[in-house]
Amino acid sequence: MTKQSRDAIAELAGVAENPDEYIAQWKRDKNRKVVGLMPMNFPAEIAHAAGALPVVIQQKRTPITIGNNRLTEFHCGYTRSVADQAAKKELGLYDGFMLADHCIQLLGASDIIRDESPEVPMYFGQLISSMGDPWSREQILKKMMSFVREIENFTGRMIHESDLQNSIQLFNENRRLLRQIFDARRAGDVTFKPSELQAFVKSSMVMDKQEHSALLRQVLETAAARPSGAGLIKLHISGHFCHAPKTELLELIEDCGAIIVDDDLFHGTRYISTDIGESKAPIEALADWYLDRNVAAPCPTRVQHDVDWDRYLLNLVAESGAEGLVVLMAKFCEPHMLYYPELRKALNARGIPHVLIETEHEGIPVETIRTRIEAMLERIRRKEPSAA
């Protein structure tokens, strides 16, 4: 790997590790507004088209202190971290906040932000979660148009169709570049560590897309010849819809003798799964993107009777050649908890070895998890049925 590639990776990893530093520098350089987005489905292209920097608010690794007094302990680690950041006045770089999802825990965290910073705009623009009804697309179109109006009011700038079209093209290019890297990993490329792959996606959630894509092109153009992961057990990682798993957990999995060849994590292929149509009117294309995204990467937070997350996972495992699956469930993530029995039933029926690991903000029991991963890998080597 060349110095140019290493420098690009280091810059992306630096932004992923410390988003606030990048955001502050961007505001100084551009003198424009930054909008904090709650995961998972706000169309960031709209904010970009108005000249703002859309940033998906990230969980911090620092211990949660004041936030524990603002949200009950049975909220997930991500929402408690966001509440903690709000209570500590660490979200001051954001000029406004936008929410597009119905998650009751995200709504709780948003309420804490609004309570701590009542002078900062907060827009609760929730996209419909029922995807297959006759009225679904019309409701989604209306909500997309309301997003445009809110962002225009927020920035004081009119969004022209050409602006939105340009932003869609820029974001699509960024997704395609990221998919090239993930496609190589699926083919057995071990050039990049799991922590680096996560950093590529996480930094994309923060950075100006033009800058980010330029760095990704450096990574792709100057990367070394792609070595094979032959001899390593191929695993799929599933779950974590809102925040990034701890990098040490991903690296622990590979340290046990596996290679993560595919995932459906938010900080992974779920985030980059679906492009927006460039030949349609932009608002219609955004509405269709929201619908198409749940087909490309189904989510248990959405209702669509002809789309199943378990069937989708089984297909992914077959396509990637994964020999086992690790389910990462954020503690107290109710949609995941409620859906997991169906997922487990489908995996057992297909004879796919799998293990469920519940994650938490406060840390991970490294050796316990190592033992469980090693036990699953040993079952795979012996071709034994799953005991998850």
pLDDT in tens, 98-109: 999 989 999 999
Q: Return d(Cα 102, Cα 302) in angstroms, integer.
A: 10
DSSP 181-243: HHHHHHTTB-SS-HHHHHHHHHHHTTS-HHHHHHHHHHHHHHPPP--B-TTSEEEEEEE-SSS
What's the average model confidence in pLDDT over 55-60? 97
Tell me how many degrees the CA angle 148-273-343 measures, rounded to the nearest 5: 115
Whether 226 has a pLDDT exceeding 80, the answer reads no
SS (H, E, C) 346-387: HHHHHCCCEEEEEECCCCCCHHHHHHHHHHHHHHHHHCCCCC
Cβ atoms 64, 72 nearer than 8 A: no
Residue written as token pair 């990367």: 223
Cβ atoms 101, 242 nearer than 8 A: no
Domains of the chain (ranges; CATH) run 26-161 (3.40.50.11890)
224-228, 265-269, 372-376: least confident range? 224-228
Structure tokens, 368: 């316990």
What's the average model confidence in pLDDT over 50-73? 93
147-156, 219-228, 296-305: least confident range? 219-228
Using alpha carbons, select from 256, 287, 259 the residue that is nearest to residue 274.
287
34 backbone dihedrals φ, ψ, rounded to 5°: -115, 130
pLDDT in tens, 263-279: 999 999 999 999 999 99
In total, the chain counts a number of residues equal to 388
Q: Which of the four pLDDT bands, split at 50, 70 and 90, describes residue 364?
A: confident
Cβ atoms 242, 266 nearer than 8 A: yes
pLDDT in tens, 171-221: 999 999 999 999 988 888 888 999 999 999 999 999 999 999 999 999 998
